[in-house]
């Protein structure tokens, strides 16, 4: 049961970023490996606002979402948009290089030392034989609310419909009068904000350092793939699956191999059921 | 100065082999292999274990490394070669990361994070430091030249043309009766075998290997060599590897100028420059320094209907 | 009063011209059919009005507004709705969502949905179904409804009956004819099924090799003895 709580905590951190990853994939048809980099940006942005600048955590989180939205928008405009016509493999290569650059810019600016948020120490909640740190509950709650909010946005609002339409068929959206560039920009900003949120949540539960990039990129991508690319709900479910898989691996093998779990899951899904749990068959480049 | 030059040339030679191997897989056949360091590391450790724990000579270690690389490459290829470009990249990346985690964890075999000490060197006898260094360089350069010769051969023949055709559009070679999967498999396995060979050379050159030697930055440098040099052009891969190693090592000399930064920052800065350079090259000159040479297109033999007698 | 006017229009996709100087008018309430052999440039002409193909010369006016400098989305806003031949619905959205999203930026989306569903009542049973799960005929209806959501002045329809059974072909063309009359809409339709189109259209143009070889009342054209010959450029 303790394991289940831990898995949920991991899932809560991964879910927003996984949803963001799948959003970018459906809108622009490439796997953006820089997801890890953006989450790291979020973590450090939140930390900068919280520790040296003394703002409360929620302000740090909001700031992180803003900074990440800007970072994703900037990288889309400067790096990815000019390469729109190229193959998925090229775009992935570029996104790997970008994540590498982002990680090292952070390392350059902040050093490699592990950092933590300036949070008041609170004791864990103890019930039913479980010890659950309050931070963990907070992380799970915030993530759940955010994921549901994004889901509602996509399902019930005009802009959410427009986003789904553009993701489905951009040329038809154009012909039907939808402002495609504006909708894409909106999608980019939502994705960026979600990366920022994941980054902030990581900082609450785990440590903040530049190596976060690698550690988080693969579980996030794995969650999105398991859930099915193109389905935000799937991404959220995928996050839970990955969380569970990691906990099980840590329990039955050694914790060192946790990092390999994401890859193994990705390989299995791509081989056995490429569309994941809820995914739609998408034409890829 | 001399010794430093020998060191740089040795490393360059190893990167040349890696770049040529990746160029075969990606440049010619279009396979996005991000598992470069996985095969590199497997070759290094396999060779090291063979020579240290089983007292094989260097040649034995090299052979074991190549066999391991070929087997691992075949296994990985059989599993996931059918995946499209971006997913193949992710899975091969995963392979490299998993292999590295295994190196780290199974310290009974690999020495774990502390590293593996390798005394065996590809030298005839111990003639002293300088002579040894030159000998190792000689072996590495021989390997590089042999690899280049092999690659030029492959690229220039009809075999290379088939690979290129597969890279452009699977359907055409398939309709001409070529088993696309087998060609890709061969390309991948030859490539991974050569990467493992480079690993063996590396291991016996540096003599201490740790899992941290086989991380993503190395993969990025190899990819850079291929992209900057010119994907599909074997000489380009050589030029690219030399250029990348020069820039990477050369940037060390900037350190005194950047005295206001600490070591961590300088290292990060070098990586920023490399990553950015890779993105810029892909954006503005994807054909690289030496574009792919134009070969005569494959013209399917026209079949005349059998003449009725 | 002319709704859509083309004068000496030339168009293509960036290579050479495919349409070599076409004069065409559509008035409100009338259905004009564009017929001709394969490769004549009918679809290209329609797409150039929609903004999907490039106009290289001549004039293109809707209600005395020059359409040439406008993007496809802007032309849609100006009143020229294009219904593509295929991939013309958002497969992952429901029918109702397809309609709503086609009225982007409008304040009265629910009301428009009602209007359009009243015009095409056969859609009611599957309003909440995913558009990708519909049959060919149902999808074409939805695509038509989507084009109507913007309350267009002129409807540009590209081979709406392609792939449909003969019964559905007739139904689709009947619906279009009724729409033109009922909604004072101008309809320009490219149709491979020349006979079926001429039976419902008011006027027609025959396009061969990017040029108009015959234009006039659909009924008169349909009587033409060598109608088939027109398609091969034999009749002058």
H/E segment holding residue C198: helix C194-200
Chain C CB within 8 Å of residue A176 CB = yes
Cα angle value C35/C37/C42 (rounded, 5°): 50
Q: Is-contact B223 A93, C-beta < 8 A? A: yes
Residues in C touching A176 (Cβ below 8 Å): 76, 101-102, 104, 146-147, 150
Chain A CB within 8 Å of residue B275 CB = yes
Contact C76 A179 (CB under 8 A): no
Cα angle value A156/A26/A243 (rounded, 5°): 85
Chain A CB within 8 Å of residue B105 CB = yes
Chain A CB within 8 Å of residue C82 CB = yes
| Distance in angstroms (rounded) separating the CA atoms of residues C40 and A197 | 56
For A175, the closest of C52, C98, C101 (CB atoms) is: C52
Residues in A touching C97 (Cβ below 8 Å): 161, 164-165
Helices (H) and strands (E) in chain B, counts: 12, 2
Q: Is-contact B100 B214, C-beta < 8 A? A: yes
Read off the pLDDT of each residue in B213-236 and give the average, rounded to a whole number: 90
DSSP, collapsed to helix, strand or coil, labels residue C10 as strand
Nearest chain A Cα to C102, which residue? A176
* Buried b or exposed e, range A92-107, using 16+ CB within 10 angstroms: bbbbbbbbbbbbbbbb
pLDDT tens-place string over residues B67-108: 999 999 999 998 888 877 778 888 898 899 889 888 888 878
What is the structure's pLDDT at B17? 95
Q: Where are the beta strands (DSSP E) in C138-185?
A: 154-158
Chain A CB within 8 Å of residue B117 CB = no
| Confidence class for position B304, pLDDT limits 50, 70, 90 | very low
H/E segment holding residue B87: helix B85-105
For C90, the closest of A168, A179, A180 (CB atoms) is: A168
CB-based contacts of B197: which residues, under 8 Å, 6+ apart? B17, B43, B62, B65, B66, B69, B143, B147
Tell me, what DSSP letter sits at residue C130? B
What is the structure's pLDDT at B307? 43
Contact A92 B89 (CB under 8 A): yes
Beta bridge partners of C33: C189, C204
Helices (H), ranges, C51-149: 72-78, 95-101, 109-119, 136-149
One digit per residue, pLDDT tens: chain A, 285 residues? 778 888 888 899 999 999 999 999 888 888 888 999 999 999 999 888 887 777 777 888 889 999 999 999 999 989 988 888 787 778 888 999 999 999 999 988 888 777 777 776 666 777 666 777 777 888 889 999 999 999 999 989 999 999 999 999 998 999 998 999 999 999 999 999 999 999 999 888 778 888 888 888 989 999 999 988 888 888 999 999 999 998 888 888 777 777 788 888 888 888 888 787 877 655 443
| Distance in angstroms (rounded) separating the CA atoms of residues C201 and B148 | 70
For A162, the closest of C87, C92, C101 (CB atoms) is: C101
- Other beta carbons within 10 angstroms of residue B253's beta carbon come to 8
Residues in C touching A158 (Cβ below 8 Å): 100-101, 104, 109
Furthest CA-CA distance within chain B:
89
Reading the block at residue B250, the tokens are 């050369």
- Quote the minimal CA–CA distance from C72 to chain A in Å: 5
pLDDT tens-place string over residues C5-51: 999 999 998 888 899 989 999 999 999 999 988 888 899 999 999 99
| Distance in angstroms (rounded) separating the CA atoms of residues C232 and C236 | 10
| Confidence class for position B303, pLDDT limits 50, 70, 90 | very low
Q: Closest by alpha carbon to C178, among C206, C148, C208?
A: C148
Probe site for chain A from C49, C51, C86, C92 (most A CB atoms < 10 A):
C92
Residues in B touching A87 (Cβ below 8 Å): 85
| Distance in angstroms (rounded) separating the CA atoms of residues B292 and B285 | 12
- Dihedral class, residue B177 (left if φ above 0, else alpha if ψ from -120 to 50, else beta): left
Cα-Cα-Cα-Cα torsion B291, B295, B297, B300, nearest 10 degrees, comes to -140
pLDDT tens-place string over residues B179-214: 888 889 999 999 999 999 999 999 988 888 888 889
Q: For residue B225, what are the CA distances in angstroms to A97, A110, B17, B22, B220?
A: 14, 29, 11, 9, 9
pLDDT tens-place string over residues A72-109: 999 998 998 888 878 777 888 899 999 999 999 998 88
Contact A165 C146 (CB under 8 A): no
DSSP, collapsed to helix, strand or coil, labels residue A189 as helix
Across the A/B interface, how many CB contacts are shorter than 8 Å? 126
| Distance in angstroms (rounded) separating the CA atoms of residues A64 and C202 | 62
Contact A254 B220 (CB under 8 A): no
Nearest chain A Cα to B270, which residue? A104
Beta bridge partners of A208: A115
- Other beta carbons within 10 angstroms of residue B53's beta carbon come to 10
Probe site for chain A from B279, B280, B285 (most A CB atoms < 10 A):
B279
Interface predicted TM-score (ipTM) of this complex, two decimals? 0.88
- Quote the minimal CA–CA distance from A177 to chain C in Å: 4
Chain A CB within 8 Å of residue C76 CB = yes
DSSP, collapsed to helix, strand or coil, labels residue C65 as strand
CB-based contacts of B203: which residues, under 8 Å, 6+ apart? B43, B44, B45, B47, B48, B61, B116, B118, B209
């Amino acid at each position: 049961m303790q394991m289940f709580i831990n898995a949920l905590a991991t899932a809560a951190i991964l879910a927003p970023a996984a949803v963001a990853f799948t959003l970018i994939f459906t809108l622009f048809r490439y796997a953006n490996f820089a997801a890890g980099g953006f989450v790291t940006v979020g973590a450090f942005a939140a930390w900068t606002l919280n520790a040296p600048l003394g703002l409360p955590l929620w302000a740090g989180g909001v700031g992180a979402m803003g900074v990440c939205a800007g970072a994703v928008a900037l990288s889309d405009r400067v790096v990815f948009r000019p390469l729109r016509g190229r193959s998925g493999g090229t775009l992935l290569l570029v996104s790997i290089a970008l994540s590498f650059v982002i990680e090292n810019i952070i390392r350059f600016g902040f050093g490699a030392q592990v950092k933590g948020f300036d949070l008041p120490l609170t004791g864990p909640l103890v019930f039913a034989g479980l010890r659950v740190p309050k931070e963990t509950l907070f992380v799970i709650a915030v993530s759940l609310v955010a994921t549901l909010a994004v889901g509602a946005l996509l399902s019930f609002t005009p802009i959410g419909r427009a986003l789904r339409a553009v993701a489905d068929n951009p040329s038809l959206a154009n012909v039907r009068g939808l402002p495609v560039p504006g909708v894409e920009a909106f999608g980019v900003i939502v994705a960026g904000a979600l990366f920022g949120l994941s980054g902030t949540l990581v900082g609450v539960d785990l440590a903040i350092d530049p190596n976060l990039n690698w550690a988080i990129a693969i579980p996030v991508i794995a969650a999105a793939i398991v859930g099915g690319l193109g389905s935000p709900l799937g991404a959220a479910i995928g996050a839970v699956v990955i969380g569970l898989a990691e906990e099980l691996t840590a329990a039955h093998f050694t914790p060192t191999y946790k990092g390999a779990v994401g890859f193994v899951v990705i390989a299995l899904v791509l081989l056995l059921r490429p569309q994941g749990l809820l995914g739609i068959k998408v034409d890829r480049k | 100065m001399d010794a430093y030059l020998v060191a740089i040339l040795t490393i360059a030679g190893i990167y040349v082999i890696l770049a040529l191997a990746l160029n075969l897989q990606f440049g010619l056949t279009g396979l996005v292999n991000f598992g470069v360091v996985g095969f590199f590391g497997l070759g290094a450790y396999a060779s090291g274990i063979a020579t240290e724990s089983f007292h094989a000579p260097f040649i034995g270690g090299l052979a074991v490394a190549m066999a391991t690389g070929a087997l691992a490459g075949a296994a990985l290829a059989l599993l996931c070669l059918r995946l499209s470009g971006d997913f193949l990249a992710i899975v091969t990346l995963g392979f490299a990361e998993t292999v590295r985690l295994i190196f780290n964890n199974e310290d009974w075999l690999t020495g774990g994070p502390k590293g593996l000490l390798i005394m065996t060197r590809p030298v005839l006898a111990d003639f002293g430091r300088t002579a040894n260094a030159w000998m190792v360089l000689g072996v590495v350069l021989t390997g590089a030249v042999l690899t280049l010769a092999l690659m030029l051969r492959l690229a220039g023949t009809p075999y290379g043309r088939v690979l290129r055709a597969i890279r452009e559009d699977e359907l055409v070679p398939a309709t001409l009766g070529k088993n696309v999967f087998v060609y890709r498999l061969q390309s991948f396995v030859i490539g991974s075998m050569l990467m493992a060979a480079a690993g063996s050379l590396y291991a016996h050159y540096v003599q201490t290997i740790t899992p941290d030697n086989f991380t993503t930055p190395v993969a990025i440098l190899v990819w850079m060599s291929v992209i900057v040099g010119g994907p599909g052009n074997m000489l380009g891969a050589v030029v690219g590897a030399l250029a990348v190693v020069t820039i990477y090592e050369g940037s060390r000399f900037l350190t005194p100028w950047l005295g206001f930064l600490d070591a961590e920052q300088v290292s990060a800065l070098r990586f920023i420059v490399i990553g950015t350079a890779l993105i810029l090259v892909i954006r503005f000159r994807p054909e690289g320094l030496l574009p792919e040479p134009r070969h005569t297109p494959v013209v399917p033999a026209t079949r005349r209907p059998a003449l009725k007698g | 009063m002319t709704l859509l006017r083309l004068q000496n229009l030339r168009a293509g996709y960036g290579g050479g011209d495919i349409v070599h100087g076409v004069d065409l008018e559509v008035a409100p309430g009338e259905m004009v059919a564009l017929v001709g052999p394969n490769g004549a440039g009918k679809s290209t002409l329609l797409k150039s009005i929609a903004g999907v193909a490039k106009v290289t010369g001549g004039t293109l006016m809707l209600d005395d507004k020059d359409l040439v400098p406008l993007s496809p989305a802007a032309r849609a806003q100006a009143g020229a709705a294009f219904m593509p031949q295929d991939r013309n619905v958002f497969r992952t959205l429901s029918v109702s969502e397809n309609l709503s999203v086609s009225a982007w930026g409008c304040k009265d989306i629910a009301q428009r949905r009602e209007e359009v569903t009243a015009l095409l009542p056969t859609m009611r049973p599957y309003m909440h179904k995913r558009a990708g799960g519909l049959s060919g005929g149902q999808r074409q209806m939805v695509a038509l409804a989507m084009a109507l959501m913007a309350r267009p002045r002129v409807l540009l329809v590209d081979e709406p009956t392609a792939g449909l059974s003969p019964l559905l072909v007739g139904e689709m063309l009947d619906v279009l004819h009724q729409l033109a009359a009922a909604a004072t809409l101008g309809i320009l339709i490219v149709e491979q099924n020349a006979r079926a189109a001429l039976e419902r259209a008011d006027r027609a143009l025959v396009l061969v090799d990017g040029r108009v070889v015959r234009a006039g009342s659909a009924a008169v054209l349909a009587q033409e003895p060598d109608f088939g010959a027109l398609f091969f450029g034999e009749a002058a």
